[in-house]
Amino acid sequence: MLYLIGLGLADDDITVKALRAMKKCDAIYCEFYTNKWMGDLKKLEKNVKKEINILPRENVESDFLIKEAQKKDVALLVSGDPLTATTHFELVLQARLKGIGCEIVHAPSIYTAVADTGLQLYKFGRTTTLVYQEKNFLPSSPYDVVAMNKSIGLHTLVLLDVKKKKQMTLKDALNLLLKIESEKKKHVISKQTNVLACCRLGGKDAVIKYDTVENIIKDRSVQKTPAVLVITGTLNFKEEEALDLWK
């Protein structure tokens, strides 16, 4: 049996259903390469009275978990909701094709927590992930996604890159977008553009700021991670009223 379990955004998000599933398992694994978790893994181990092993990306994306689930009850713990990354549904698909039982335990994720800003979820367009610049390559597809969403009045949720020992800050993200703007010149973003900076949504120390790109880059209070950036599309009067809370 394979359990795919969402941890939510922080410690208190773990559901009773998730805890019950973990206590049934012979082995519990987790992965944090798709996203970091604001909870305490040691605290969770004490709660379920079992060891939790962190799996590297290569193990998650191989047949390791499928082989384990053929012999015993196994859980993979994922930050946020377990099906926000396509990697995890591939595990579900392979398990079911091989006749292995599979249970999915959902949890809060950034896709719903972003509604804390007051922006209406149905007005978000395609989500994009901004990644670090490589030696001679700066991926510009996130910029193109923002441009496409803005052209039809939709907001853009911009997820930020996660490396093994490094998480992109909002300062890094905005500087990258400005660099792409200087090359593409589609007038998608400038230092005077108002954006929403969201740090550690779902945590007790969450911070939301609505300000110009220039001011967000300078603002030390919004450089904590994990963070996301929201670039707004056309705002209705209720959204404008909500954004006044974060100015």
Residue pLDDT, tens place only, 140-150 = 999 999 999 99
The structure tokens 């909870």 sit at 39
Dihedral angle sign, alpha carbons of residues 136, 86, 172, 175: positive
Domains and their CATH numbers in the chain: 2-108 (3.40.1010.10), 111-246 (3.30.950.10)
As a dihedral over the C-alpha atoms of residue 142, residue 148, residue 151, residue 156, rounded to 10 degrees, the angle is -50
Q: Kindly tell me the burial class for residue 206, based on how many C-beta atoms sit within 10 Å of its own C-beta (0-12, 13-18, 19 or more).
A: middle
pLDDT at 116: 97
| Largest CA-CA distance found in the chain, in angstroms, rounded | 58
pLDDT digits (tens, 9 = 90+) for 88-110: 999 999 999 999 999 999 999 99
Task: Give the span between the Cα atoms of 112 and 97, in whole angstroms.
Answer: 30
The pLDDT-based confidence of 36 (bands split at 50, 70, 90) is confident
| Separation of alpha carbons 62 and 57, rounded Å | 9
pTM here? Answer: 0.92
